[in-house]
Amino acid sequence: GENVEQHPSTLSVQEGDSAVIKCTYSDSASNYFPWYKQELGKRPQLIIDIRSNVGEKKDQRIAVTLNKTAKHFSLHITETQPEDSAVYFCAASRITGNQFYFGTGTSLTVIP
């Protein structure tokens, strides 16, 4: 089955700085990679996703890059704000079956 690893587990940045979270996956058939933000006790919220036919995707302060050859993908948050503080999860999926396999999560703290 798919194995998704995520680093770092915790990350603290000063407000305005950038944050980068990295994930690797094992199943070369995975072709969809979403990123979720989860606040304590709440449901995960999709913040950005990327499909395997694309190398990079950007949405305002958030961007995701994908390296299919190396089987890793990264989340980049620029100009961080205190409200960005949360736990972020990456996931990998293949369209057949559509199961999501989540990374271990990164607790991001943005210090005002």
Q: Torsion angle, CA of 51/5/64/82, rounded to 10 degrees?
A: 140
Bridge partners for 93 per DSSP? 32
Tell me the closest approach of the beta carbon of residue 79 to another protein, in angstroms.
27
Q: Which is nearer to another protein, 18 or 26 (CB)?
A: 26
Minimum Å distance from CB 36 to another protein? 8
Identity of the residue, 49 or 78, whose beta carbon is nearer to another protein in the bound complex? 49
- To another protein, the closest distance from the beta carbon of 105 in angstroms equals 5
CA distance 25 to 6: 9
